[in-house]
Every structure is written in C-alpha cells, then in structure tokens.
A and B are shown apart, each in its own frame.
Chain A
Amino acid sequence: MNDMVGSNKTIRIGTMVLVYALLAVTVLCMLVPYLWMLSSSLKLNKDVFSFPMQWIPANPRWENFVDIWTKIPLGRFIYNTAKLSVIVTILQLLTSSFAAYAFSKLHFKGKNVLFLGYIATIAIPWQAYMVPQFIMMRSLGLNNTHMAIILLQAFSAFGVFLMRQFYQGVPDELCEAARIDGLSEYGIWARIMLPLSKPALSTLTIFTFVSTWNDFLGPMIYLTKTDLKTIQIGLRMFISQYSAEYGLIMAASVVSIIPVVIVFLALQKYFVQGVAASGIKG
C-alpha cells in the first residue's frame, strides 16, 4: 500500500519536473529574441555576432540609443504613430459605442438588416478591397496624408460589434428607469452606458491602439513621404538603408517596442479578457 502511494508520488513528481522543464525551455525560446535584441542594442556592430554570446556587454554602447535619433527622424516617426493611434482610437471608441447603443437598446426600422450588414463585412478581408480603397482615397487627394489612415481605420464594424455584445448584457430596465426619470437617449448613453462599459471600452482601446501602432500594410500603401511615415515603416526603411548597422537596428527596434510594452504591461488583464471574450463569442 505504502509502496503504491510512493510510486504514484514519484510519477507525479516526475511529471511535474518534466512539465516545468518543458515550460522553462518554451519560456526561454520566447524570451531569448528580446534579450538578444536588448543586448545587441548596446553593442558595436562587430560584437553583435561574437560567439559565444556575451549577454551583458562589458562596455555597453549607450551611444547607439543616441545615434539612432540622428540617423533617422525617429522622433518624427514616433510622433506620427502616436498621433494616428490616439486619433483612431478616440474616433473608434466614440462612433462604435454610439452606434452600438442604438443597435442594442433602441428600436428602429432596418435595425437587423443594418446590423447583419456590419457583421457580414467583418468577415471580408481588408486585403480584398485595399486597392479600390486606395484609388478612392487618391482621387479624394488623400494619399500621402494621415487623414487617409484615420478614415480607413476609424469606422470599424468590429468595434460596433464588440460594444454591442457588451451592451446586450446591460439590463434594459436600467435604460427604462432613466427614460422615466426624463433622461434623453444621449444622456443615457453618456451617463449610464459609457460608465458601465469600462471593460469593453478598455478592450477596444487596447486592440485599436496596438493594432494602429503596429499597422504595416496601411501606412506602407498610403505614406510614402518620409515626414509622414509611422514607426513601423520608418524602422523598415532604416533596416533596408543601414542593413549592416546591427547595433543601431536593434536599438531602434527596442525603442519601437517600448510604448507597446508599457501599454501591454499596464493593461495586460484587459488584453487577455478581450481575447477570451472574442473567442467565446466567435
């Protein structure tokens, strides 16, 4: 009897050791690229590939982080990206939550057809109509303007869908009570729905902000002037121009990731909830 318990325990401990070893290796695989990025960003070009690796450089070259700002207009790129991300996020939050309120709490003709239309277009890949969209924007004189990126990202069907899913969970009685108290529909949206929907608003904020910050193809098509480029396109340009400047490329990469790291670590909980919610609803 004791023996059996003992061997069971050994198996359990063995399994645990195996599981932890496996997880440790996986975690390492996930982390090594960032550690390598960080370590290389503080090295001279000739030391980046020295083998065996020196994870903490003996003489960290902080100058790399100074030099990149003069080699490329990094400040300009970050400013452009931040501007676009903030404007797109605010517009999406406002227009999506506004429309979602009507779709979940108001009655009007064509509601179902209109909503179905929104959902149907979520499934259509943007890559399938990026060409006509570009032609349209160009004929409006909007290519090589930030306005083009804002207009094509600000009115998202997904945002409307996400907010509506959340509003559906808010009891109708709450709105009824507010109506009886004489609050207008706009008042209900502003004073009841918005404060209640903080989790949904946070999720949409994170997703919109991060995806606009990281967007590659949109800015690549629309922003060909260096002054207008975003950090992703700027970094890409830098990598092709200075392909042998390993230390500098890594320093610029570190800088381009920092804002996302901050947003991610601060709002990580909402991120995970948001992904989970989108999965369950799928």
Chain B
Amino acid sequence: MARVRTGVRAVAAVLVAALGMTLTACSATGGKRAEDARRAAAQAAEGRANVTTPRWTVAMVTHSGDGDSFWDIVQKGARQAAAKDNIDFLYAHSDEGQQQAQLVDSYVDKKVDGLIVTLAKPDALKASVARAVAAGIPVITVNSGSAQSEAFGALTHIGQDETVAGQAVGDELDRRGRKKALCVLHEQGNVGHEQRCAGVRETFGGRLQNLHVDGTNMPDVQASIEAKLQSDPTIDAVVTLGAPFADAAVQAKRTAGSRAEVDTFDLNAKVAAGLGNGNLGFAVDQQPYLQGYEAVDLLWLYRYNADVLGGGRPVLTGPQIITREDAAALAQYTERGTR
C-alpha cells in the first residue's frame, strides 16, 4: 500500500500544479469569456410567457439516441415556445421503438394537455398514439412519419420529407456540375437515412454510391471516407447525412488528396464556419428549431383557438439549401445552438 500512497501523493501534487496553471495560464482568445461577452450583447432573445392561458402541460417523445445534437436543437425550440406560451414542457426519448411507445403511454397516463411524437418507427407507436387520441389528447407528429400522421389521428405533421430533401441535394449537385457522389450513412438501418440517399439518387444526374460508417467512432468515420476517396479518385462530391460528420469528411478529403466537394445535411456551428471558409459546398437544413417551436405553439393554438395548420398535409420545415452567402448570417444562431 505504501506505493499506492506515494502514487496518491504524486497525483495530488500534479493536481495542485494543474490548479496553479489554471490561475496563471489563461487564454487571451476564445473560451467562455468570449462567449459571455457575446451573450451580454444580445440578451434580449430569451422567451417570456406572453399569454394568460392556464399552465398547460405538453410532452414530447422522440426517437433520438443519447446526446444527439440535432434533437438538442428541436428541444431548444420547443422549450422557448413553451416559455412564451406559459406551457409546462416535458421531454423523453428512446431510440428503441418499443420503449418510445412506453414513454408515450406514460404521458397519456399522466393526462398531459398535448403530445408531440416522432414516428420514425410508425408501427411500434401506432397503438400508443391511438390511446392518446382516444383519451382526447391532441397529438402533433414531428420530423418523421408524414405518411402515417393523418391516419394515426394526429392534428398536423411538422417536418421535412426525407426523400424531398434528398432530391433537393441531387438537384444542387447537378447545378454544381458534379458527376460522381458519395452518400455517407452514419447509422446502419435508419430508414430516414436510406430515404435521403435514395432521394439524392433520384434527381442526381451522376452516379451515387452509399458508404456506411460507424457514427459513434469519429476516427473510423474519417478513415473510412479516406479509404473510399483513395480507392476512387473520380469521386467529386461527398454528402454526409449529419453535421458532425462533415468535418471528418473534410479532413478525410484533405489526407486523401481528393478534390471532392463536401456537402452535408443539417447545420451546426462548425458547418456554418466550413461554409464560410469554403471547406463545405452547401448544407441542407431542415430547421429542427422550427420543428420543436411550431409543434408546441400549434398545440397552444389548438387548445386556445382550435386552430389547425396544414389542412391535412404535412407542414414542411425544409429542405433549405444553405451556401456560403447565408453562412455569415447564420453563424450567430448556430453558435447559440438554435440553428
């Protein structure tokens, strides 16, 4: 044990040294201090309850996995609308269809005043949504499930049609004169991902190949794209299906010495920066903030005024093609995590 104690003492010494460093070794650039300065300049954006309606409760259940940046933005939109509408907002998620259905059931048991559900796995959720409708709870579907939404008894669907978004990418690739593109799927078996790539294939005049990568392992994503670009130097466009993977693709392109243009679905601060400095060609945004915000706001409108939007058709939040020109204007919104 004596050795272990020596080890502990050594660790303590390093800790003290590190703390000493934090006091003396501040960074003059970047960091939280810079962020605080920015935030102080634009404090007014926070939502406040603007209505006198009773405090209704709205629950949202999504198919998000843990720590997904996309769903983080959806939640931000929903929370801001809830703050403005005097709504108590509840959120739960599971990427397993059965568990997602159980979460919906538990909110139905709680008798919430409104329910927002994603239908990535429609069959698993059919019974639970029917239960909610039977219990008189208004349901709005978001993101995925535009085809099933109405049949399941939902008021409205708010989201992006994945195939339409893919088609928009195919058109944009044609406009940019691309001949051979790579579609990088980071989650094997995700129906929406397959639809996106299939949509690109429909409208794209050139050839499109799919590449599956392991989305939880970023160096593997990079090495796989690198390997693909090396084995086929004629590829002139790489399309990633999620914003975090665009940067890995840019690095893969550089190390592989490829001249392919990197384009991506979805947006984040790094993608906005990449568009600005020309590392990325374009991004397709489906505005996740809008999906959360509109869903909560429409439930409020329905309870308050029996308003319904879309007339039985899905309300589309995308695709919006974003290029270099838009990047500067969007950078501040991606920075705070709402675009």
A and B associate: no
Residues of A within 8 A of B (CB): none
Residues of B within 8 A of A (CB): none
